Structure 1
Amino acid sequence: MVPPVLDAAQRAVVDHPGGPLLVLAGPGTGKTTTLVEAAAARVEAGTDPARILILTFSRKAAVELRDRAALRLGGARAPQATTFHSFCYGLVRAHQDTDLFADPLRLLSGPEQDVMVRTLLEGQRRQRSIRWPDDLRAALTTRGFADEVRAVLARARELGLGPHALSDFAARLGRPDWQAAAAFLSEYLDVLDLQGTLDYAELLHRAVLLAERTPSLAAAYDVIYVDEFQDTDASQLRLLRALTGPGGTLVAFGDPDQSIYAFRGADINNTLDFEGAFPGARVRALTVGRRSASALLAATRLLTSRMPLTRLPAAAVRAHRGLTPIREGGRVEVFTYPTAGAELDNIADVLRRAHLEEGVPWQDMAVLVRAGGRTLPAMRRALISAGVPAETDGTDTPLRHEPAVTPLLTALRLAALPLTTTAVDPATDGAEPAAGAVVIPAQSAGPSAAEGADAGEREGFPAAALADDPAAEPDGDVGSAVAEADADAVADGAADADGAADADAAADADGVADADADADGAADADADADADAVADAGADADADADGSPAAEPGAGDAGIGVEAAIALLGSPLGGMDAADLRRLGRALRDEERAAGVKVPAPSDVLLARALAEPERLIAHDPAYARGAQRLGLLLRKARELLQGGGTAEEALWVLWDGTPWPQRLERSARRGGAAGRNADRDLDAVCALFDTAARAEERTGGRGALNFLEQLEAEDIAADTLTGKTARTDAVRLMTAHRSKGLEWSLVVVAGVQEGLWPDLRRRGSLLEADRIGRDGLAEPLTPGALLAEERRLFYVAATRARDRLVVTAVKAPADDGDQPSRFLTELGVTPKDVTGRPRRPLAVPALVAELRATTVDPEASPVLRDAAARRLARLAALTDEDDRPLVPAAHPQRWWGLYEPTRSSVPLRDRERPVALSGSALDQLANTCSLQWFLGREVKADAPSTAAQGFGNVVHVLADEVASGRTPADLAVLMERLDTVWDALAFDAPWKSRQEKENARAALERFLRWHTTDRGGREPVATEHDFDVTLEAGEYAVRIRGSMDRVEADPQGRAYVVDFKTGKGAPTKDEVARHPQLAVYQLAVREGAVDEAFDGLRPEAGGAELVQLRQGAAQRDGGDAVPKIQAQRPLEGEWVGDLLATAAGRVLDERFAPAAGKHCDHCSFRSACTARPEGRQTVE
């Protein structure tokens, strides 16, 4: 390789003869090139490469340095380049006492350390082994307190404090919380030693002690190069001083203007006091800016003018900040917008215009924000909807939350749990059972004993009261040791998180980068490598032979939960869609009826049972049952494997390999595009799961699948991986400013630069105040000035990521008390431009097609304009690719659903030769409200599942029937006792909702009893829950009316009076009651003989009907809230009911189901596909 041409400043660094040297290297100044050339020059001058050490912070940077050095010198001559943590691991391994440690020390990952700390805190809370202050005791088991404790441990080890030193320090300062933390540190270190593990702070601490106590190490290297020196903490500085020794050569590249990791222990003073820490040190600066164009350098230079560096030589600082650009040009723009939505829309417009008009590749653009936990997902969705491909980093997601991992873990848990375990009994255990838990007895084809309807039957309560739908059926040397560490990627993970992942995790905790963060310089998300899990501290010793916990009555995870079963069937493991689930559920219900079960269990319960007994599915159509049968057999196979001593990894492989899912992902990954990127991400996640399971087995030796799942569930933070997360290469990158360090793009948008957010000057306080543990006493908290300086440095880092164009945006609300732009916007030397509106439309093909289509039908547009729009649509529709496939299919009228003729079924919905079957509620929908709603809900049966409110009504109706028929006395206490037997079978969203509705049920029953026991004009009940089925003529149609009357009474004149109980929250108006279709149908049925049997075979005259609103109290003049609201309908007059029936029957036979808007739309399940609604109109037009 031909050596690069160096400028004078770079050459001066390369030619540095020896001794300590600090190189001030600003963004884009050729720092990496200079470092590699300096190392290469020494090798070419005869220095042994093994005596050259290059240290950096991230694994990515270490790999880049190794690759560039190997390319420059050849692989055999390249010096070692590694991270601090990898070097320390090799150092500790090389000096490990083999008598004490038969196996190599293993590193805890961030998640594993988190679990260990929380486990020890829980044990101390129970045993009171450590005296934590009383005001902290309640917080011991919280995740936040565990984070605080970890920060104290890391800070103590960073400063070289052991348990006794920390305890003495705390005693001198009167800090009992730190004394307790010192006791915790002692116990924690004992556990680490017993397990043969280390965390990253402890690793660095022990490496420092080794280096300081082993003078020969200082002679091991002729020169040490350090990249990103401004990110070093106290312990890393001590390590460098020990390795360099007096008179050694250390070349440190750093930029104090980019020191942004104070929250993790990085100390800018290491750079500012370099000459004091390394006597005889010189300071040089790289002076040529190779990244940013001149306009951008000028703007960012204004930022640095507000960041004084008084302790460094003034000449070096001037040279460092007065960079000479290698090219002119560049743009810096600052925009403000009235709302956050307008800001997002305009950012999308900036990005699309840069791509379409200036040819900037998507991957050469980025949007940076201060804190991204809440803003980045919404920003990504907004950009994608505007036609901008966007990608965020996913490194903050714990493994168990990865979409591809979730179904595998769910299936593993179902396989690990014995099917015969019983669910928790709230009465004995004191806890509520898991929602939807279903106990699956082995080889049971009948309804579950835990199912709500059957529970009711055991108490004598009619199971029909709990049906799904009231109107339908319920549906040796240091170098070699370090090389080995690198090869195995044992410790490099810490550095990656040092540079990125933890920054976001900390920033998102409360919107500031260093809030409650780990102050240890070794990050939470760092350990990718051979890190050990916490052993079985606090684990249950009672285990079965297979290593899983012994089954106990009351195990909360017992059985197959309905919710988990449905989710698993609909996951890639089951491969079933909603239609398959619906068809299979109906088939299983039909099977139950054929077996003599009068009221089958709900479909989802039967589906859950089918997973336990997949042989039941053999007789069902494979078109919809294959996925469930395959999954059930896989679960059985995995369960048998675990019971036979198999590992979690082996069971996961059985579940994964037994489905078509891997092949589908492979095909998608090969095809590329958006689906390919998603497939890559899923495959990475699944590989990480298998790797985690394998490492857990190696570490703990057969603790069982449930213990493995428990470990994953306990990990609340993300672990680093060897390869990182897969990110699409043709997308705009969205990330935080912390994570952007070391990266660059042609166009950078720094968004959301608001006062109060950036800079955020809130004090980074914490409960245990780890940051106040100082070298020489109590450290003072950061002053507002220091906080502002750190925030300005972070803004500087974000702004210097751009090569050609920098756009800074903020919201400037019209109101004085609204969001206002940050002071930083005025520090770039550019006048902010106020943009008051949004772009007219997104610069995307779908938006263009939408605008052209709207123009073609706009009555206010001129004929010439409409014609021009139509011609352009035709041009777009005619565009094809090399395979003659349309490039813009949405432009062709054949794709416009609104132009399609309504479809007609080849099989009539109803036979015209037979009466049309209707009910009272159906009549109202067909004739008065919305016939489409009737068709989709009643005929297609696509309505939403039944709700607890419907179950509420069913139960109240049944109890009213029991009282009226004399089977139950009219006593509220008795009725409430009966209610208690079935109430828990109603699935409410939350316990408080269940209690609230039970009180409402009590009030409804009280109103009913008062109504029932008072005189109602001499009327007496003659029938309750009276079924009827009559056929009558309605115009030219024969109509069959079917239904059930809640109550039929005889008045003193012998007329039949129909009562309908209502338990809903709404009520019709007086005028609506007069023409209430359901009441009218009841009266019409009376005329046609529907109640003759109740009147000794005589045909009574219809005397009227009424609605009894049990959930609503009457007006004060009618008795007040204690009695129900009564809404009566007089005896029928005229033929309006017959006309309604004729209209409804005609619509059914003619299949005319047109949508109609009204109040009924508020609770309709089909609004999103309804042309009468704005949200549905776009679907078909």
Structure 2
Amino acid sequence: MLAVHLAHAMAGDPCDVCMLLRAYFASDDWARAVASPVETPAETPADSSAGSHGDASSTPEMFERGISSAFVDQLRDMLARMSELGASIAREGELLSAAREAGAHGERLELQWRLAFALRSEYAAAVERAYPGEYRLDSSRLLVEGASVLRQSAAAAGSGGPSSLPEVLIVDDFQDTTLAGLRFLEALADAGVRLLLVGNPDEAVQTFRGSYPEYLFAEACEGPLNAARIGIAQADRAGDRAGDRETDRVTYRDIVVSRVSLSIPSPEDDPTPLPDRPGKTPKREGTWPIAMLDAESPRRNDGSFASALYRSPREELDDVVWRIKRARLDGDAQWNDMAVIAHDNATVRVFGERLRRDGVPVRYSSVTRPLSEEPFVQGLFALIELARLRREGMDGTSMTLRQIAAFARSRVATLMDGPLITIGAKRSAEGRPARIEIVESAMSALESLAGVIGAEPGEDDDADDVDQADTAGTLSELVQAWNGLCHRRSSRNAAASAGTAPAGTVSVDESLVDATAVPDADAPSFGVNALYAMLALDDPHAPADMVVAAVGQVLGTDPQLKAFQRLWTLVGKIAEGLVTLTSREPQFALALAWEATGVARVWQRTAFANTPDGRAANDRLDAAMRLFQYAEGGASGHDIVSFIERVRSMQIEADSLAHVGPIEQAVTLTTPAGAAGRHWAYVWCPAIQQDVWPNLAERNTMFGGEDLGDVILHGGITRDDTARAAADVTGDPRLAAVLSSEKKSLLVALTRADRLVTVSAVANDDTLPSDFLYTYLPERYCRDRNLFTPVGRETVGAAIAGRSRQARSPATETAWR
């Protein structure tokens, strides 16, 4: 959709949405956009685009610089947020009016929201054009449309509602429901369905995706649902499992959890004292306000909570992995009893790879990388696209020769840099990636040589060397073949233009009278791009084998040549196979390309080895299973073209819903969002660093999604000075909301352990432990002194050392307990 507007800008024919995009990108940076308006109140976005900012750079340059992956990601999030919040087209004027009332910041918001509404309308129209006569919905619209259908069905069926609805619906984790989900539940209630909503606002882990937990609970009780709030008494999970019902036993872990819970405020007005609000853990000694426990308190070292401090991330990684293995080997813990919960997927991946390298089975709670980022998936798609281009030929594509060359070159680079085309491969080893640079150097040499020796028909180079004569002859044939290809393309274009041109129009082909004239104005001259176009098309008059042979004369027996030859052999094989396919469904084209590569057996053998190559091969096989499961799911597109487009548009891990192969015993690695609703005996929470946990970067800034939520939920933007003065101690309600979200994720992580939870951080010149550790664990972390944990030591030894240090310094204890 955005590519269309980029094409408009390149063609110099901008539409109204293009002008909105230009006005959007006209500001130098976000801070200046907030501090000073992009346009004056009297100007429209289209008018302002011709102002001083518009002269800074051309529209195509502005679009190419601004339309980044981050822009596309936030646009997707904004479109989903608009649907979930109920920002319909009918409310556009109301919302834009609210933005205008917010001063300078509101002027920027008005432009952002105007652009978002315009792009959403274009997106809906594009879906309608792509799937005419079909009822296609974006996932964010499902609950909105479902609520509408329910209300219509209830009105048609009377007060009893449709008979197919359940009598009772239980909703777990209600705190992570979106506003659209709440409206759907209200429609169910109107239809006669009884609801049981279970949740805790302090355990919301989806606030970054549009969940407003405190508002949801208040609206459920005070809104149309008129729900009755019932508190559930807490239970000691570990005691229940062991048959011990002494729920009044308070551990140090309980104290830390209570400190976190009681520090989370509500953004909604609530006169109830903080400790008495629903979902809060009980107030205990030293929790509210937070106070350090007495040095002699037995709870400080009761074995329910461990902490560690390291000098470097490498130390932390080594020691955490060592303790996980010791817990399995020396204790009664199974792999399934342990989990590592980190703030983000990058940390999850680091610890997962290290555990796998040490032979520990791991289980990721979610797919940590989308299919579109898997190198072998990119290579498989590139093979299929090159094969389709070759099958269609020059007459079957709308691309120019220059575009064909660029298309082929990018796909070849992907393949040569991936695991499908390798050199040195054996039955027991997959080899190493090929190097396209060597092949392109040979192609550049052919381009230079063609200009030196001349390649006009009938010329004799009088070369003394036979090999040079052979090369000259091959080059002569290549250049003639390329010129012929260009002439045929030009003739077809002229014929097509003559068929649609008005009567009396004269078409002149200068190449017929001028030997130096370019047959196709958009065709590249003979060189690397021309060779790529010939390879891709494999035209009968300009065969690809001729190009491969010429490159081979330059490279000789170089293994890179064999990889390059194998690539084009695969393209030809797949192109022939596509003709014989009996179904257009994507899984058949994928299977054809997968079988042609022949990598399955090699990867299967390699995956048995506990080596980096073995683990990489195992990951690729898992990705292949996910890819084929997704292709067979039916929702990925009706042919291979739409399937490839769909997979490439995946920007987040949740886009892939394919099952992961089951593992009977494994350590779970996850984020707080993936840990919600689950429990383990032992939990490690590493890398609790400042600016990582909490990460206070403001969310959804490119389109003002949070401000849109404020307007719809509260009727205005809570960003002015009066709102800041009324906010909590942070001084900024938006910052307070982000901080509360980070506290909630920490609370979820700490409450996943039934027996022992371990937190750790690194302190050195480059990074500091999080303020969370200094605030919630004053007994373990001291700002004035770092007490580092010995790496690879038995827990008992560390505890003994800790007691000796604690005796010298009652205010602090060892980092490991």
TM over 0.5: yes
Residues 442 and 555, structure 2, Cα contact 8 Å, conserved in 1: no
Q: 1:742 aligns with which of 677, 683, 696?
A: 677
Tell me if 1:204 matches 2:149.
Answer: no
Matches within 5 A, 1:1011-1090: none
Q: Secondary structure in 1 aligned to 2:170? A: strand
Q: RMSD between aligned alpha carbons? A: 5.0
What is the distance in 2 between the residues matched to 1:350 and 1:563? 56
Note the alpha carbon deviations across 1:1085-1123, whole angstroms, 9 max, x for none. Answer: xxxxxxxxxxxxxxxxxxxxxxxxxxxxxxxxxxxxxxx
Matches within 5 A, 1:652-667: 652-657=590-595, 661-662=599-600
Name the aligned partner's letter for residue 652 of structure 1: L
Q: Secondary structure in 1 aligned to 2:122? A: helix
What is the distance in 1 between the residues matched to 2:231 and 2:578? 64
**Percent sequence identity over aligned pairs:** 23
Note the alpha carbon deviations across 1:830-857, whole angstroms, 9 max, x for none. Answer: 42495536536999xxxxxxxxxxxxxx
1:331 is matched with 304
Q: 2:189 aligns with which of 244, 263, 273?
A: 244
Q: 1:792 aligns with which of 723, 731, 743?
A: 743
Name the aligned partner's letter for residue 331 of structure 1: S
With 144-153 and 665-674 compared, the bigger mean Cα shift is at 665-674
Tell me if 1:836 matches 2:781.
Answer: no
Q: 1:275 aligns with which of 215, 221, 226?
A: 221
Q: Secondary structure in 2 aligned to 1:333? A: strand
Q: CA deviation at 1:211?
A: 3.2
Q: Secondary structure in 1 aligned to 2:760? A: strand
Tell me if 1:641 matches 2:577.
Answer: yes
Q: Secondary structure in 2 aligned to 1:254? A: coil
Q: 1:147 aligns with which of 73, 95, 108?
A: 73
Structure with more relative contact order (C-alpha pairs < 8 Å, separation 6 or more): 2
Q: CA deviation at 1:135?
A: 3.5
Name the aligned partner's letter for residue 221 of structure 2: E
Residues 762 and 769, structure 2, Cα contact 8 Å, conserved in 1: yes
Residues 348 and 388, structure 1, Cα contact 8 Å, conserved in 2: no
Note the alpha carbon deviations across 1:402-425, whole angstroms, 9 max, x for none. Answer: 355344334323433429879998
Name the aligned partner's letter for residue 231 of structure 1: D
Q: 2:316 aligns with which of 339, 343, 362?
A: 343
1:402 is matched with 374
Matches within 5 A, 1:174-323: 174=100, 175-194=110-129, 195=131, 196-213=135-152, 214-215=154-155, 216=158, 219=161, 220-245=165-190, 249-269=194-214, 270-277=216-223, 278-279=225-226, 281-291=228-238, 294-295=250-251, 296-307=253-264, 310=270, 317=277, 321-322=281-282
Q: 1:725 aligns with which of 642, 645, 660?
A: 660
Residues 74 and 700, structure 2, Cα contact 8 Å, conserved in 1: no
Normalized per residue, which structure has more strand? 1
Matches within 5 A, 1:418-817: 418=390, 451-460=443-452, 601=556, 603-604=558-559, 606-607=561-562, 610-611=565-566, 632=569, 635-643=571-579, 647=584, 649-657=587-595, 661-662=599-600, 681-693=619-631, 699-700=637-638, 709=644, 711-718=646-653, 720-726=655-661, 728-764=663-699, 766-773=701-708, 774-775=711-712, 776-780=714-718, 782-813=733-764
Tell me if 1:416 matches 2:368.
Answer: no
Normalized per residue, which structure has more helix? 2
What is the distance in 2 between the residues matched to 1:382 and 1:671? 15
Residues 451 and 601, structure 1, Cα contact 8 Å, conserved in 2: no
What is the distance in 1 between the residues matched to 2:574 and 2:403? 33
Name the aligned partner's letter for residue 321 of structure 1: T
1:165 is matched with 91
What is the distance in 2 between the residues matched to 1:681 and 1:380? 12
Question: How many aligned residue pairs are there?
Answer: 581
Q: CA deviation at 1:334?
A: 1.6
Q: Secondary structure in 1 aligned to 2:198? A: strand
Note the alpha carbon deviations across 1:212-240, whole angstroms, 9 max, x for none. Answer: 44344774554332111111222222222
What is the distance in 2 between the residues matched to 1:592 and 1:248? 73
Q: Secondary structure in 1 aligned to 2:125? A: helix
Residues 454 and 463, structure 1, Cα contact 8 Å, conserved in 2: no
What is the distance in 1 between the residues matched to 2:353 and 2:276? 46
Q: CA deviation at 1:749?
A: 1.0
- How has the CA–CA distance of structure 1 residues 200 and 673 changed in structure 2, closer, same or farther, with 3 Å as cutoff? same
TM-score w.r.t. length of structure 1: 0.43
Q: CA deviation at 1:797?
A: 0.4
Q: CA deviation at 1:170?
A: 0.9
Q: CA deviation at 1:810?
A: 1.1
Q: CA deviation at 1:132?
A: 1.0
Name the aligned partner's letter for residue 250 of structure 1: L
Name the aligned partner's letter for residue 754 of structure 2: R
Q: CA deviation at 1:686?
A: 2.6
Q: Secondary structure in 1 aligned to 2:259? A: helix
Q: CA deviation at 1:366?
A: 1.7
2:35 is matched with none
What is the distance in 1 between the residues matched to 2:535 and 2:281? 60
1:357 is matched with 330
Name the aligned partner's letter for residue 199 of structure 2: G
Q: Secondary structure in 2 aligned to 1:733? A: strand
Residues 677 and 728, structure 1, Cα contact 8 Å, conserved in 2: no
Note the alpha carbon deviations across 1:427-454, whole angstroms, 9 max, x for none. Answer: 999999659889xxxxxxxx99973443
What is the distance in 1 between the residues matched to 2:524 and 2:650? 25
Name the aligned partner's letter for residue 304 of structure 1: S
Q: Secondary structure in 2 aligned to 1:225? A: strand
Residues 260 and 747, structure 2, Cα contact 8 Å, conserved in 1: yes
- How has the CA–CA distance of structure 1 residues 780 and 606 changed in structure 2, closer, same or farther, with 3 Å as cutoff? same
Residues 411 and 655, structure 1, Cα contact 8 Å, conserved in 2: yes
Residues 118 and 143, structure 1, Cα contact 8 Å, conserved in 2: no
What is the distance in 2 between the residues matched to 1:394 and 1:558? 44
Name the aligned partner's letter for residue 735 of structure 1: T
What is the distance in 1 between the residues matched to 2:230 and 2:334? 39
What is the distance in 2 between the residues matched to 1:221 and 1:366? 37
Residues 74 and 702, structure 2, Cα contact 8 Å, conserved in 1: yes
Note the alpha carbon deviations across 1:226-266, whole angstroms, 9 max, x for none. Answer: 11111122222222223213997422111122023221111
Name the aligned partner's letter for residue 318 of structure 2: D
Residues 367 and 732, structure 1, Cα contact 8 Å, conserved in 2: yes
Note the alpha carbon deviations across 1:786-838, whole angstroms, 9 max, x for none. Answer: 3332221111100011111111111222x5x8523423454147424955365
Q: Secondary structure in 2 aligned to 1:752? A: coil
Note the alpha carbon deviations across 1:899-938, whole angstroms, 9 max, x for none. Answer: xxxxxxxxxxxxxxxxxxxxxxxxxxxxxxxxxxxxxxxx
Q: Secondary structure in 1 aligned to 2:79? A: helix
Residues 393 and 725, structure 1, Cα contact 8 Å, conserved in 2: no
- How has the CA–CA distance of structure 1 residues 694 and 417 changed in structure 2, closer, same or farther, with 3 Å as cutoff? farther
TM-score w.r.t. length of structure 2: 0.60
Tell me if 1:367 matches 2:340.
Answer: yes
Residues 170 and 178, structure 1, Cα contact 8 Å, conserved in 2: yes
Q: CA deviation at 1:712?
A: 4.0
What is the distance in 2 between the residues matched to 1:598 and 1:247? 79
Residues 399 and 689, structure 1, Cα contact 8 Å, conserved in 2: yes
Q: CA deviation at 1:718?
A: 4.2
2:38 is matched with none
Note the alpha carbon deviations across 1:16-70, whole angstroms, 9 max, x for none. Answer: xxxxxxxxxxxxxxxxxxxxxxxxxxxxxxxxxxxxxxxxxxxxxxxxxxxxxxx
